[in-house]
Amino acid sequence: MANKGPAYGMSRDVQSKIEKKYDDELEDRLVEWIVAQCGASVGRPDRGRLGFQVWLKNGIVLSRLVNSLYPDGSKPVKIPDSPPTMVFKQMEQISQFLKAAEDYGVVKTDIFQTVDLFEAKDMAAVQRTLMALGSLAVTKNDGNYHGDPNWFMK
């Protein structure tokens, strides 16, 4: 990761538009679902875009989320005993979540890029992916979804 200075001109305008797409209310709903789906052991993030990003950044919470949507014995993502501390391991964990989400049925166009989360480039894209995953889980109605079905569209 290169150190990046402040954005200027068109880059700043583009980043500003991306950041405006982030929805704080949607964040609250997604946090409630993730905690209901995975259990209280995943904890809760600090409020706001940065807190949400830090909570998801190492990929462990996301991996637990996607694994919880599968029946026991067929978990698609291996979760390490201790959370990864090295950058490439964290990014690899996020990539495993993205692959598992796609295998679950999330459309490729709804899936964020690893850097969108890891560098907080586009947290709205992360929200879109989680919404697509939740909507799919409600639609499948296979007994693995936990939470209020009204949180997501069918």
In tens, the pLDDT along 62-108 reads: 999 999 999 988 899 999 999 999 999 999 999 999 999 999 999 99
Residue 56 one-letter amino acid: L
Q: What is the residue whose two structure tokens read 């992916």?
A: 129
Residue in 115, 117, 148 with CA at minimum distance from that of residue 29: 148
State the Cα torsion 70-146-104-111 to the nearest 10°. -140
Distance between CA 68 and CA 74 in Å, rounded? 10
Residue 2 burial by Cβ neighbours in a 10 Å radius (0-12, 13-18, 19+): exposed
Q: What is the reported pLDDT for 123?
A: 94
pLDDT above 70: residue 113 = yes
Q: What is the reported pLDDT for 54?
A: 96
Q: What is the reported pLDDT for 117?
A: 96
Q: What is the reported pLDDT for 50?
A: 93
Q: What is the reported pLDDT for 154?
A: 66
Distance between CA 32 and CA 146 in Å, rounded? 10
Query: What residues contact residue 47 under an 8 Å CB cut-off, 6+ apart?
Result: 24, 27
CA distances from 137 to 11, 120, 153 (A): 36, 25, 10
Q: What is the reported pLDDT for 22?
A: 83
* Beta carbons of 154 and 137 less than 8 angstroms apart: no
Output the six-digit token pair for 13.
């305008």
Q: What is the reported pLDDT for 110?
A: 96
Q: What is the reported pLDDT for 144?
A: 92
Instruction: Express each pLDDT in 4-56 by its tens digit.
Output: 666 667 666 766 666 678 888 999 999 999 999 999 999 999 999 999 999 99
* Beta carbons of 135 and 154 less than 8 angstroms apart: yes
Q: What is the reported pLDDT for 73?
A: 85
pLDDT above 90: residue 153 = no
Q: What is the reported pLDDT for 12?
A: 67
Distance between CA 139 and CA 120 in Å, rounded? 29
